[in-house]
Structure 1
Amino acid sequence: MASSIIAYLNHQPTHHKTLALAIPMILSNLTVPITGLVDTAVIGHLSDAHFLGATAVGSLIITMIMWAMGFLRMSTTGLAAQAAGQAESYAIKQSLYNAVAVAITLSLVILITQSLIWQAAIAFMQASDQVLSLAKSYYDIRVWSLPALLLRYVFVGWLLGLHRARLPLLILVVSNLINIVLDILFVVYWGWGVEGAAWASVIADYIGLAVGLVVIAAIIRGLKPATNEPSWFQRKAFLRVLALNRDIFIRTLALEAVFYVQTSVGGSLGDVVLAANAVLMNFVMIMAHGLDGFANAVEAMAGRAFGQGFRRRFWRSVTVSGFWSLLCSLLFALVYALFGDSMIDLMTSIPEVNQLAKEYLVYLVFIPIVAVWSYWLDGIFIGITEMKAMRNSMLVAVFLVFIPLTFTVEFISNHGLWLAFYGFMIVRAAGLAWYLNRLPLTFNEQRV
């Protein structure tokens, strides 16, 4: 085993391929939390903590909806990567068209039921009336960007599966840079407050969608048509997409329960605790999106190798991406340890929020080293489209570990929330590792 790992790590072409895929995706992914960081920083310098708390609650609900729809990107990446490995242009296009159909349908359902979603989301949210009122203003505007966001999920996932990682970077950078510029214009210069941050996001998201449509159309025109190509819709293929999406959807709802419970319980401890946790969780999101770059790389590389039936190429991709994921996590930990105080100062000038966030900074420092394994393992399972294992390990981590540990808040206050988060990450990774060791992966024995 050790000799195989060393041999895999000595294979320079795999390192080059991993970095060629991961670096654009890291840059792409980081634009997403950086946009949230700008929202928080702009709102965090207004007069009161309830503005920051409202932005945290409103954006959390939109983020929860988006994460629940995260299967659109994940399943599309896995299916597109395997289709590309088999060099089937028809299957490549089918993986896109099926996902687009699902995204459009879900967008319509969300917009029709947006009021019900809000009521369900705040049913157990223990924030002040002032915070909830401002959060509702944010949500009512921001929800209209969801069609653009869901289609962008599909486009990014499809392009990643085809190993075209630079194009998602173009789409996301354009969208999020516009968001940042409009954030500053609407909130700082025009004084639109929370509503300004929401409108900035909506406008930027539709501009990003327009860029994505141009990119996708150009690639489809370049695909060689298959001989006697049938209709893109085939019942069996579509049902497979729905089955994969179902398992990821359940898994993602469980993950969302973590952030919902964390925000709700934090709100019960007061607006200052809610705001301080929001500041730190922005840095957790930056870390998660950064580490996801290497998870994205292993999705595409392992998925293609699996589709081709190459055993050695598959495990080489897994090993090298794990090596780079670990290095990246150590870098995040070092940055948070050295510059955490200064980063918090940039985020908020509200004295009580600033002080409390610094008290809990130690939890942020070690999160990258603990969390990296679950992100990396997620990438492997997405690439081989084994979504049931992801679902089951997540359910165990959330309902048997995280939620029971949140009851320690009664005894150790906000420390209990962060310890519960640590426990969740550890058990989630352990469950995925257990499944990976037991999976009967099938390869062509002539292709090592």
Structure 2
Amino acid sequence: MVNVVEERVPARKVFGLAVPALGVLAAEPLYVLVDTAVVGHLGALPLAGLALGGVLLSLVSTQLTFLSYGTTARTARLHGAGRRAEAVSEGVQATWLALAVGLVVLGLGQLFAEPIASAMSGDEAVTAEAVSWLRIALCGAPMILVTMAGNGWMRGVQDAVRPLRYVLVGNAISAVLCPVLVYPVGWGLEGSAIANVVAQTISGGLFLRALARERAGLRPHPSVMWAQLTLGRDLVLRSLGFQACFLSAATVAARTSTEAVGAHQVVLQLWTFLSLVLDSVAIAAQSLIGAALGGGSSRKARGVATQIARYGLIFGCFLCAVFAALSQVLPHAFTSDPGVLGEIPHAWWFFVALQPVAGVVFALDGVLLGAGDAAFLRNATIASAVGGFLPMIWASLAFGWGLTGIWAGLSLFMLARLGFVLARWRSGKWAVVGAVRA
């Protein structure tokens, strides 16, 4: 790599983007917790239906995050080049795409909700509850995707506060509405689904209003949407690599023992939560890197990349120290079962040791996403999964390594990804300048 003098940005600018992004990322899990607490008092069967239906709905949104991340990358470049109107126009096209894909998801979901839920559950009563909830909740799919697109273009123009406000307004109203519809109104589990749709409709409507106020042209441009889909294809395939890994891990844990799957769930939920914290820095990186490259400054992009990677490492080391100190206390907040508590240490120390690695990996993921280097990230994720995680996971099942084998597989996956993103970062090949990445 050619040595160049690197530029930085003020830390307050990074965290001015990262902190609101963290709020947006955390809003949905917090709402799900409220929803779970409300439905949980209806009994075990409705709660099981919500759990299954919620997993299926979240799979849809997880696979379509390109509407957020891909839009940020493209919009940020145009914003950095001083072409705000065109940047907002990217948001318009992403919103049209979101509405179209959302309607397709809604239609297919209504057709296939029952057979998919039945295949996953194997219990007719749970399947019926899940399908009842899911078919209503899917009516919010177009607005879920509009919200993703809205987050994407607003982050691209470095407006991080309004997305947080829009998401919080929708979720707060729904959190109040959910218990009212479930209990006094008497709609039960279906009331929870209706409250979910209300939240998505309010948030999506606020993003639509924000676009209208920009006075951008609202006509669809198929060529732009096709370019967004091309970037989206790589991000979807990358996401499928993650899903294959984590579904395999859950399957192997379930076949190990009841205590093992309980322990895996506890540690995995903590891993997921901390991933949100670290990912907020990556989202800031997407916006700043895209703007730097769009403005024609590879030197600034390299400087921001170094800065973001350093922040990720510092945060990761801090989290490592905190959760190492909490190892004897925190697991008891999640379970009192002696068997589960006995299994948790087999995963816990991998989880703790991986935090600095995760900090750097997520930070550099954000850098490369901001640069639009999605094809590389796709290949790196799939190679890491096929060459590291999946063989170790299934060997763990074959040889009875339990949680130790599962989390060793996750460690191989993360270390392989670290190697790939560090090599790419050092090469500088990602730093392609211009308002649009060639």
Same fold (TM over 0.5): yes
Cα distance in 2 for partners of 1:348, 1:135 equals 26
Q: CA deviation at 1:371?
A: 2.0
Q: CA deviation at 1:250?
A: 1.5
Match of 2:284 among 276, 282, 297: 297
Cα distance in 2 for partners of 1:238, 1:265 equals 39
Partner of 1:428: 417
Amino acid at match of 2:397: V
- Corresponding pairs, count: 430
2:204 aligned with 1:209: yes
2:89 aligned with 1:101: no
Alignment of 1:71-150 (within 5 A): 71-115=66-110, 117-118=112-113, 125=120, 134-150=129-145
CA contact (8 A) 2:100 2:142 kept: no
2:31 aligned with 1:35: yes
CA contact (8 A) 2:256 2:397 kept: no
Task: After superposition, give the CA deviation of every residue in 1:342-398 in whole Å (9 maximum; x if it has no partner).
Answer: 655555678876776677444443343232222212211121111110111111122
2:242 aligned with 1:255: yes
Match of 2:301 among 300, 303, 314: 314
Cα distance in 2 for partners of 1:289, 1:41 equals 22
2:431 aligned with 1:441: yes
Q: TM-score, normalised by structure 2?
A: 0.83
Cα distance in 2 for partners of 1:139, 1:79 equals 33
Q: TM-score, normalised by structure 1?
A: 0.82
Alignment of 1:278-427 (within 5 A): 278-339=265-326, 360-407=347-394, 408-410=396-398, 411-427=400-416
For structure 1, the 5+ residue unaligned runs are 224-228
CA 1:134 to 1:236, structure 2 compared with 1: closer, same or farther past 3 Å? Answer: closer
Partner of 2:22: 26
Q: CA deviation at 1:116?
A: 5.6
CA contact (8 A) 1:44 1:348 kept: no
2:172 aligned with 1:174: no
Cα distance in 1 for partners of 2:181, 2:344 equals 27
Q: C-alpha root-mean-square deviation of aligned residues, in Å?
A: 3.6
- Give the structure, 1 or 2, with the largest relative contact order (CA under 8 Å, sep 6 or more): 1
Amino acid at match of 1:20: G
Cα distance in 1 for partners of 2:328, 2:82 equals 50
Amino acid at match of 1:145: G
CA 1:274 to 1:178, structure 2 compared with 1: closer, same or farther past 3 Å? Answer: farther
Cα distance in 1 for partners of 2:381, 2:325 equals 32
Cα distance in 2 for partners of 1:264, 1:345 equals 24
The share of aligned pairs that are identical, in percent, is 25
CA 1:184 to 1:264, structure 2 compared with 1: closer, same or farther past 3 Å? Answer: farther
CA contact (8 A) 2:4 2:299 kept: no
Cα distance in 2 for partners of 1:137, 1:382 equals 37
Cα distance in 2 for partners of 1:350, 1:181 equals 33
Cα distance in 2 for partners of 1:250, 1:413 equals 28
